[in-house]
Structure 1
Amino acid sequence: MYSYERRLQTFADWPFREDCQCTPELMAKAGFVHCPSENEPDVVCCFYCLKELEGWEPEDIPWSEHSKRSPDCGFLQMKPFHKLTAIEFFRLEHERIRNYIRKMVHMKIAHFRDEVENTSKNLKVLFDIFF
């Protein structure tokens, strides 16, 4: 997804096309890929920092919204992909993978906490019935 063209391809069903600041082209230039859900057709995610944004308004400027919500994103400071050296690319990719692992770990922890909470509630109900 380092390629602008690949990111742009994800916006085939993007709801904003004309008379707005958040066109598919500007979204892709800001590092976003389109990842809609059934209830939210305008969800985007930065391929690099994995920050998800939704609720876009026609006057929203993708680059500005990205930098406000994720100011430390390495993509925002990255020089054009074709000008990166191999070492710079591997450093960026290392950070991107770290971001991914961190997000997955947080999701797993949240899921585990939910499971613990549900189990605890079920046990409480069972103990209340028997005691």
Structure 2
Amino acid sequence: MALASPSLSELFEEDSKYLFRDARLKSYTKNWPHKEPNLSPEKVPFVIQMADAGFFFNPGNSDDDDDNVQCPFCFKQLTGWEPDDDPLLEHQKRQDRCYFVRMGKKEEDWTVQDFMLLLAQRRCASLVSSIALFPFWLIFQHSLPTSLVHCCSIFATIFMLHSFLYSRCLFCFSIIIYLFC
């Protein structure tokens, strides 16, 4: 079975509408479960913090994850929010390679390059999650002795050459090779 590379249209699927802050903010009007004063949708500062930290409300199917949020760039999902949680700090602690968090800019300050790198990370996160679903792939990385995710989490174009795929990291320019087992 071959793994098809996601198309450009797949890059802009359902959760891509949350790339921008206003849409992330609006997602919290849909059944945000917390009734505590610090976590209710009426407590605008916390909801704004969630959206500013890159999260949109994406409830799960069980009561345990009914306050699940997700980043549309790195796809990190977090649940179990408590009144004293800081959304940006939680995002940084749980996914420190997220370019959105590392960039530290408000949306109105983004450049075209920033947006393209955010889309590249989104593509990379999609690729990494696809690879995780297919255990018959071996991942080899040149130049860096650490994991695939450490390689800046952002790849340039994925190329097909004979029986393997390779890409180049946009930051450290190391080559990452994916071989079929």
- Provide TM-score, normalisation by structure 2: 0.54
User: d(CA) in 2 for partners of 1:86 and 1:102?
Assistant: 24
Q: Name the count of aligned residue pairs.
A: 110
Cα RMSD of the aligned pairs, angstroms, is 2.1
- Which is richer in strand? 2
Is residue 32 of structure 2 the alignment partner of residue 14 of structure 1? yes
Q: In the alignment, which residue of structure 2 is the partner of 1:74?
A: 99
Query: Is contact 1:30-1:62 (8 Å) kept?
Result: yes
User: d(CA) in 1 for partners of 2:111 and 2:86?
Assistant: 29
Sequence identity (%): 33
Query: Is contact 2:96-2:102 (8 Å) kept?
Result: no
Cα deviation 1:23-58 (Å, max 9, x = unaligned): 322111110011111212111111111111111111
Q: In the alignment, which residue of structure 2 is the partner of 1:129?
A: none
Larger RCO (CA within 8 A; separation ≥ 6): 1
The structure with the larger Rg is: 1
Query: Is contact 1:44-1:54 (8 Å) kept?
Result: yes
User: d(CA) in 2 for partners of 1:10 and 1:61?
Assistant: 18
- Which is richer in helix? 1
Query: Is contact 1:35-1:43 (8 Å) kept?
Result: yes
How far the C-alpha of 1:21 sits from its partner, in A, is 6.0
Consecutive unaligned residues in structure 2, runs of 5 or more: 1-17, 41-45, 137-181
3-state DSSP class of the match of 2:24? Answer: helix
- Provide TM-score, normalisation by structure 1: 0.72
User: d(CA) in 1 for partners of 2:101 and 2:37?
Assistant: 25
Matched to 2:51, the amino acid is A
Compared with structure 1, are the counterparts of its residues 17 and 72 closer, same or farther at alpha carbon in structure 2 (3 Å cutoff)?
farther
Q: In the alignment, which residue of structure 2 is the partner of 1:58?
A: 83
3-state DSSP class of the match of 1:50? Answer: coil
Is residue 56 of structure 2 the alignment partner of residue 33 of structure 1? yes
